[in-house]
Structure 1
Amino acid sequence: MVGDSEWTAIDATLIRWFFTTISKDLFHTVVSNGDDARAVWVKLNGLFTDNKLQRRSIDDYCRRLKTVADELRDICTKVDDDLLLSTLTAGLNEDFGNAASNLTLMPEPSFPKFVAYLRLEERRMKGVKKRVQHHALAAGTSRGAPPPAAPRAPRIFSPPTRAPAPPAAPQQQS
């Protein structure tokens, strides 16, 4: 086992590596006095993954989560399956709300089972979106639908014209 002084030196080296590889502003934004290397890594990772989850695919998200868990295990930080699975479900965006609820009902849960289920759900959601787009397009071009309105010509402003004066009444002779 690594001694306290040896671990302190490793920890300081990792923090120094973070400091030299990211922008100084980002480093100072994330790091608090007394943080160890693990705390800095968790904060940095959260900063980058929290903002991008909406745009990532399930494969990208799960692969990144697994990589982070493996890296934490490499530095002797315990990441058990319960933590990995709860982190996975907590990080899903609102589109996967129902899927996240369904995952909690899965018998003998495991990371590979969760990933497989989420891939299927993502594929299903993409199919639904395509069908909705197709139906919307078809509804707009079907025989029963009115033809698309022709673009209107822009109205050109013209000053009001005076109406012609009414004809003068004939004069009576006396």
Structure 2
Amino acid sequence: MASPHSSNSNPFAGPEPDATAVHDLDIHTRVPIKLDQSNSSYYAWKTYFNLLLHEYHLLEHVDGTIDGDLMAGDPDWAAIEASLIRWFYLTVSPDIFHTVVSEDDDVCAVWTKINNLFTGNKLQRLVFLQQEFFGCHQDDSSIDDYCMRLERLADELRDIGAKVSDELMLSTLTTGLNEDFGNAASNLSLLLNPTFHSVAAYLCLEERRMKKVKARVHHTALAAGTSRRAPPSAPPHPRPPAPLGFFPLPPAPPAPPAPPRQPQ
């Protein structure tokens, strides 16, 4: 593929992308994310695509360093452009597709439109995400789910340039724990150089221990309740059946009253 970079004398420059390899690649196995504005999928989607663009030496198609109009006559360049645009459209939700689709856009324009949906209006997004981040509590969710929510919010803040430090992640994590983890939170001061991930791992183990204790207490209570119950009384022995040919006599009638005594 002829391009302004073909005469680059840099010995570490990557090889030219292969249009056939790009066309035949199954994008869903390389970017297993459906980008949607209703969830926190942008950071993962962009990360997968950045890895893929580096792996296939395709960054020049999205970073704006090359004028696409100058390369319009190159068939390999045009083929790769079509494949990349198809990748973007296949990995976004229908709402995003209808928002950014345009017949005349090149890859750089489509890439920029999609990213601006998640990084534009930075001040409004910053206020909203910070409120959600600092108001995040564990409630009835598991430690894994709670930590995942915090990490997704931190990723969204990072996308708009508001990086969340590990110390702040750790502080928010411990502040939002439910009351069941009160003792565990007080023991965190015993950990050497605690980090968000090390504390999350510790809390997961504590959660498992607490579940086992609760199950053991429940089992013990059931066993104690069963042992306190009175044993059921034995049913009365039934009368043995009469032998064959035996007919019991009817009960004797009551004796008549004695006659009154005559006076002498």
Q: Same fold (TM over 0.5)?
A: yes
Question: Structure 1 residue 37: deviation in Å?
Answer: 2.1
TM-score normalized with structure 1 length: 0.59
Aligned to 1:42, which of 94, 119, 130?
130
**Do 2:184 and 2:203's aligned partners in 1 also have CA atoms closer than 8 Å?**
yes
Equivalences for 1:18-57 in 2 at 5 Å?
36-44=124-132, 49-50=136-137, 53-57=138-142
Aligned residue pairs: how many?
A: 117
**Do 2:129 and 2:153's aligned partners in 1 also have CA atoms closer than 8 Å?**
no
Match of residue 146 from structure 1: 229
> Can you list the C-alpha shifts for 1:87-128, whole angstroms capped at 9, x where unaligned?
010010111011111113210111221111001110011011
| 2:175 pairs with 1:90 | yes
TM-score normalized with structure 2 length: 0.40
Question: Structure 1 residue 78: deviation in Å?
Answer: 2.4
In 1: Cα distance, 2:117 partner to 2:205 partner: 42
In 1: Cα distance, 2:229 partner to 2:214 partner: 25
* CA distance 1:13–1:139, shift in 2 (3 Å): same
Aligned to 1:60, which of 135, 141, 145?
145
Match of residue 77 from structure 1: 162
In 1: Cα distance, 2:231 partner to 2:176 partner: 43
**Do 1:11 and 1:36's aligned partners in 2 also have CA atoms closer than 8 Å?**
no
CA RMSD of aligned residues (A): 2.8
Structure 1 ranges of 4+ moved more than 6 A:
9-12
In 1: Cα distance, 2:218 partner to 2:162 partner: 46
* CA distance 1:71–1:13, shift in 2 (3 Å): closer
**Do 1:58 and 1:119's aligned partners in 2 also have CA atoms closer than 8 Å?**
yes
| 2:190 pairs with 1:105 | yes
- Name the aligned partner's letter for residue 43 of structure 1: Q
In 2: Cα distance, 1:140 partner to 1:10 partner: 61
In 2: Cα distance, 1:64 partner to 1:12 partner: 19
Aligned to 1:129, which of 206, 214, 222?
214
**Do 1:72 and 1:78's aligned partners in 2 also have CA atoms closer than 8 Å?**
yes
* Max Rg structure: 2
Per the alignment, in what secondary structure is the counterpart of residue 92 of structure 1?
Answer: coil
Question: Structure 1 residue 45: deviation in Å?
Answer: 5.2
Structure 2: which 5+ runs fail to align? 1-115, 233-264
